[in-house]
Structure 1
Amino acid sequence: MKAHHFLLVCFPVHGHINPSLELAHRLTNLGHHVTFATTIAATRRLTNTTTPHPLLTFAPFSDGFDHETLNPNRTFPQLFSDFKHHGSQSLTKLITSHNEQTPSNPFTFVIYSLLFHWVADVAAALNTPSALLFVQPATLLALYYHYFHGYGDTIPNQKLPGLPLLTEKDMPSLLSPTSPHSAILPFLKQQIELLDQKSQSKVLINSFDALEEQTVKAIDGLKMIPIGPLISIGKSNGKNGSNPLFESENYMEWLNSKAKSSVVYVSFGSVSVLQSKQAEEIMKALSGHTFLWVKIDEEAQDKENGKIVRWCRQDEVLNHPSVGCFMSHCGWNSTIEGMAVGVPLVAFPLQIDQATNAKLVEDVWKIGVRVAANSEGFVEREEIKRCLDLIMGSEGNERRDEIVGNAKKWKDLATKAIGQHGSSTFNLKAFVEDIDNSD
């Protein structure tokens, strides 16, 4: 196998950056050079927190807003238009100048994030092959594919290839015309249309064979290649970075003082901010449990039965023996991180793909329980308490024991998948070998 030089172009949010960085490290471990490209603002944050590697370099590109990529004053259409306009120019210059200045080590393949479909056009114009890295589960890609191939709003309550039976509450919020994220739909459609242009489009998936065995084979014309979970299992390796502003919060020392499986870890990701009324209901529901809650919009503080921090190293926390439950918004990174360490979930979906992930958690993989919102979309404390009491209850409850057993089963399968002889390791190597064969 010859050594390649991959250009990995990443959408500038944590949900894309973390798995993309893990893929970059796995490719460098196989002996390939990787240049990691994201916006100037995101690169500035990354290079301050990421351990250097001799085969990994960082190359920022401009999206026209170099001080703050996700400027709240820009609408989604403006944001994606700027990405394409400024990003295409900047990325073209990056690739051509690198190849001219380093002819002995040119870019040989481009891997790009979802919603960055214009990157494939840039690569094609420069005669460089490319592939999409899909950082959500294969089920979501199958869902989007069906949505744009004649099923539209009729997906709920019918069985389609690669999908479980979904109800309205299981659908991604961006497919709802009333969602603020529905403005993303035209760009998602362009991505699916781009995949349709090739007779057999290859898509790298942050999942693994055993987890979505039927789904990855369900769509004719799409070769889904599971290479996940794109996380580091069993140890903390620093790729989540550190945050010196919050290092003094001492959450690990606090966790060390707690009994095994006694702590509820609560996190709703790095973007979502709960309404104060909903946050109050969660706090009241936690009154009977010891908890560690990451709240990005609140100062760190100690509570009678818990601790609130503004930031934590999630991989460290989930691997800690005192953690017995993960209340999560079910963003895919968090979902697969919880699965990979065998921590049962209380699924509390908020937006985008999270409702579909929560459906998979509760009904397909059965590694957790999902909170049920009332008719106004609000989750009341008694419902939250019901879910927490189920997961954190004593042995002997049939459903709890099933969830705990399934969590251990999927942990073992996830660990095996990315092991030396695992399916995801094999799939990634085969993907690279196919590049060689197509040269």
Structure 2
Amino acid sequence: MAIINSKIPHILVVPFPAQGHVKPLMKLSRQIAKHGIKVTFVNIESVHEKIVSAAKRSDEVDEDEDEEHNIAMTSIPEGISSEDDKSDTFKLLESLRSTMPGFLTDLIERINSTNGDEKISCVIADVTIGWILETAEKMGAEPVVFMPSSAAAFAMALHIPKLLEEGSLDENGTITKDETISLSENIPSWTKNELCWSFSNDLKTQKLFFDCSLRVQKAAYQTKLLLCNTSQELEPSACNLIPNSLPIGPLLNLKTPKSSFISCNFHPEDESCISWLNNKPSKSVIYVSFGSLAIFSQQQLDELALGLELSGHAFLWVVRSDLANGSQFGKIVEWAPQVKVLSHVSVGCFLSHCGWNSTLEGLSNGVPFLCWPYFADQYHNQNYVCDKWGTGLRIDSDENGIRTRYEIKKKIDMLSCDDVLKGNALKMKEICDKSVGEGGSSYRNFEMFIDHLRK
């Protein structure tokens, strides 16, 4: 079917149903909508309900349409029966692959029949659900892929067929020949347990993630445009390894009134931490957050709490409220407005899981890192932070896999007096600012994309 040439561009945006995927695609959607282009943002029902619920509890707007930003939020079913566990990743992925194309076809048909001047002209799909690109083409919309992780992670996925052919990886994605895999001398290498799909103690989960990475490779060749949440300056070698890539990041929150849109968080933000930060000295607070998926043993949580207390530094820790240890130095919240926190003058360090969104937000605010990766691409992001950019330190685990209170205190002390590291963090902030600022590489790429959408 020929691509529809709508009178007015109308973009359908479809993220993978996880916080770290919804968040950057909403940032992209707001940037697109800022240029007067209509966007319909599609979540599965359970995710849509979480976002609306969190927005209500955070006193944000709860309407389904953000009129100021030309964004309409809608949902489609998961396709899972009410008896099934919606947190089961295996069942959810299997269901989405079989049911999502049909649900999206119905949605696009409804939208197109409602307003002939605003038919869906383009579908931007998270690369992990690239199977919907065929649906987009069948409905006459241009398919565009969005990569929410680093360009390096994307480049590694594209190299899987070659690595399989040469025997460097087995059918489960395990490194078989050497201890490391390198794509370029300017990109940190991956060790055996640092690949995006590595789960050395859970082969079933590793195979699931590896198969998803294989589909990433397929999706990359089904589109002429690959939007990457990175910049040419941050990852020059990795960007050059990806055909048709268009680096448009770091995608940042638009500076708009808090009440003007739903933030797309799965959890309500606790704004009280900002007033708490206001009473702390400059660069004195350790911000601790491990994202939305990390899970720790009680022993490890205890060690972290004790390590923070031993350091003597004030800390802001994002964690479940029932795990608070009652420290007089710290404040514990269930969820924080992270960009506001990282841009606050009182924050001097980001103890992070190194998810790509958090990594970009830390870099963009010039905050040095203490790195504590949990899984997937977070280990390689740590290598970028510590080895390539020189903006952070690793918190190492002992022989039992525990990061002890003494190791935590030691690295906090080391970072607090490392002026070179702090200087590097400020340099990275300048690089990020320049890339998205007027005339920067990501700015120009995004303007090019907007012009493309209007043609």
The equivalent of 2:32 in structure 1 is 27
CA–CA distance in 2 between the matches of 1:67 and 1:345?
A: 42
The equivalent of 2:451 in structure 1 is 433
CA–CA distance in 2 between the matches of 1:171 and 1:333?
A: 18
The equivalent of 1:12 in structure 2 is 17
CA–CA distance in 1 between the matches of 2:195 and 2:389?
A: 17
The equivalent of 2:211 in structure 1 is 186
CA–CA distance in 1 between the matches of 2:19 and 2:308?
A: 27
1:258 to 280, 283, 289: 280
The equivalent of 1:64 in structure 2 is 79
Residue identity in the other structure for 2:363: M
Provide, for residues 262-296 of structure 1, a one-character-per-residue CA deviation record: whole Å limited to 9, x for no partner: 11111111221211111111112112221111113
**Secondary structure in 2 aligned to 1:346?**
strand
* Number of equivalenced pairs: 424
Residue identity in the other structure for 2:285: V
CA–CA distance in 1 between the matches of 2:99 and 2:197?
A: 29
Answer yes or no: is 1:210 the counterpart of 2:233. yes
Q: Given the superposition, is the C-alpha separation of residues 426 and 365 from structure 1 closer, same or farther in structure 2, using an over 3 Å criterion?
A: same
Q: Pick which of 147-156 and 78-87 moved more.
A: 147-156
The equivalent of 2:424 in structure 1 is 406
Provide, for residues 233-254 of structure 1, a one-character-per-residue CA deviation record: whole Å limited to 9, x for no partner: 788856646899674x722222
Provide, for residues 318-340 of structure 1, a one-character-per-residue CA deviation record: whole Å limited to 9, x for no partner: 11111100100111111111111
Unaligned stretches of 5+ residues in structure 1: 394-399
Unaligned stretches of 5+ residues in structure 2: 1-5, 170-174
CA–CA distance in 2 between the matches of 1:136 and 1:236?
A: 28
The equivalent of 2:142 in structure 1 is 129
The equivalent of 1:397 in structure 2 is none
Provide, for residues 22-52 of structure 1, a one-character-per-residue CA deviation record: whole Å limited to 9, x for no partner: 1001001122111101111212333452652
Q: Given the superposition, is the C-alpha separation of residues 186 and 260 from structure 1 closer, same or farther in structure 2, using an over 3 Å criterion?
A: same
Checking the alignment, whether the CA contact within 8 Å between 1:92 and 1:122 is kept in structure 2 is yes
1:380 to 404, 421, 436: 404
CA–CA distance in 1 between the matches of 2:111 and 2:231?
A: 34
CA–CA distance in 1 between the matches of 2:189 and 2:267?
A: 45
Provide, for residues 113-135 of structure 1, a one-character-per-residue CA deviation record: whole Å limited to 9, x for no partner: 13211211211222221111111
Q: Given the superposition, is the C-alpha separation of residues 275 and 244 from structure 1 closer, same or farther in structure 2, using an over 3 Å criterion?
A: closer
Q: Where do 1:62-141 residues align within 5 Å?
A: 62-65=77-80, 71-72=86-87, 74=88, 76-141=89-154
Provide, for residues 346-393 of structure 1, a one-character-per-residue CA deviation record: whole Å limited to 9, x for no partner: 000011111111111100111111112233332222222221111123
The equivalent of 1:274 in structure 2 is 296
The equivalent of 1:396 in structure 2 is none
CA–CA distance in 1 between the matches of 2:11 and 2:85?
A: 26
The equivalent of 1:323 in structure 2 is 347
> Cα RMSD (Å) of the superposition?
2.7
CA–CA distance in 2 between the matches of 1:427 and 1:297?
A: 42
Q: Given the superposition, is the C-alpha separation of residues 432 and 102 from structure 1 closer, same or farther in structure 2, using an over 3 Å criterion?
A: same
CA–CA distance in 2 between the matches of 1:127 and 1:181?
A: 36
Q: Given the superposition, is the C-alpha separation of residues 184 and 165 from structure 1 closer, same or farther in structure 2, using an over 3 Å criterion?
A: closer
Checking the alignment, whether the CA contact within 8 Å between 1:236 and 1:315 is kept in structure 2 is no
CA–CA distance in 2 between the matches of 1:252 and 1:239?
A: 19
Higher relative contact order (CA 8 A, sep 6+): 2
**Secondary structure in 2 aligned to 1:214?**
helix
**Secondary structure in 2 aligned to 1:204?**
strand
Checking the alignment, whether the CA contact within 8 Å between 1:172 and 1:352 is kept in structure 2 is yes
1:421 to 435, 439, 442: 439
Using the TM superposition, give the Cα deviation of residue 303 of structure 1 relative to its aligned residue in structure 2, in angstroms.
Answer: 1.6
Q: Given the superposition, is the C-alpha separation of residues 15 and 99 from structure 1 closer, same or farther in structure 2, using an over 3 Å criterion?
A: same
The equivalent of 1:291 in structure 2 is 315
**Secondary structure in 1 aligned to 2:360?**
helix
Q: Pick which of 19-28 and 53-62 moved more.
A: 53-62
Using the TM superposition, give the Cα deviation of residue 59 of structure 1 relative to its aligned residue in structure 2, in angstroms.
Answer: 2.0
CA–CA distance in 1 between the matches of 2:178 and 2:402?
A: 25
2:246 to 222, 225, 228: 225
Checking the alignment, whether the CA contact within 8 Å between 1:372 and 1:379 is kept in structure 2 is yes
**Secondary structure in 1 aligned to 2:125?**
strand
Percent of aligned positions with the same letter in both sequences?
Answer: 29
Q: Given the superposition, is the C-alpha separation of residues 385 and 70 from structure 1 closer, same or farther in structure 2, using an over 3 Å criterion?
A: farther
The equivalent of 1:167 in structure 2 is 191
CA–CA distance in 1 between the matches of 2:269 and 2:82?
A: 22
CA–CA distance in 2 between the matches of 1:5 and 1:389?
A: 51
Using the TM superposition, give the Cα deviation of residue 426 of structure 1 relative to its aligned residue in structure 2, in angstroms.
Answer: 1.1
Q: Pick which of 301-310 and 401-410 moved more.
A: 301-310
Q: Given the superposition, is the C-alpha separation of residues 134 and 243 from structure 1 closer, same or farther in structure 2, using an over 3 Å criterion?
A: closer
Residue identity in the other structure for 2:241: A
Q: Given the superposition, is the C-alpha separation of residues 194 and 69 from structure 1 closer, same or farther in structure 2, using an over 3 Å criterion?
A: farther
Checking the alignment, whether the CA contact within 8 Å between 1:41 and 1:67 is kept in structure 2 is no
Checking the alignment, whether the CA contact within 8 Å between 2:10 and 2:121 is kept in structure 1 is yes
Residue identity in the other structure for 1:359: N
The equivalent of 2:3 in structure 1 is none
